[in-house]
Structure formats: C-alpha cells, structure tokens
Amino acid sequence: MGQSISEAKKAIFLQRAEARLNFARNLPAEDPNREAKLREAEKALQTALASKTGPVRTGTGRKAGKARKKRAR
C-alpha cells in the first residue's frame, strides 16, 4: 500500500479521469481503438472515485481490528 494522497491531488485525478472519458466518448465510431480507450477511461474514473471516497489511512499502518503480537520477555 502506498502513501496517502491529499484531497487536492484526488480532485485532480478525478478531473483528469473525467476529461479522459469525455475524450474517448467523442472519438469517431470508426476508430478501431475507441472501445479500448472507453474501457480504460472508465477504469481510470472508477479508480479515481475509489481514491476519492476511500477510507482515511491511520498513522499506525495496522489494519483495524487486528491485534498486535505481544513480545516475549
């Protein structure tokens, strides 16, 4: 898992994904790569939305509800 990103960067990702989708939709129907570009753009939009609505990471790096191992002394 990578570093958490700022809200501003998430908004930029979302804008870029929307622009990419609009571009793919405006391609001519005869374009052989149109369907592939549409699928890629929709996937990018879903990824951007997931990062926008994803849970906030905590600083501990542990999963919620997972108990920590006790050290042997």
pLDDT in tens, 23-65: 999 999 898 999 999 999 999 888 888 876 665 555 555 566 6
For residues 6 and 51, what is the distance between their CA atoms, to the nearest angstrom? Answer: 10
Q: Tell me which DSSP letter residue 6 carries.
A: -
Domain ranges of the chain: 7-53
pLDDT for 63: 60
Nearest to 42 by CA among 63, 67, 70, 23: 23
Q: How confident is the model at residue 3 (pLDDT cuts 50, 70, 90)?
A: low
- Closest CA relative to residue 48, chosen from 66, 21, 73: 21
Q: What predicted TM-score, i.e. pTM, was given to this entire model?
A: 0.58
pLDDT, residue 65, reads 64
Is the Cβ–Cβ distance between 17 and 38 less than 8 Å?
no
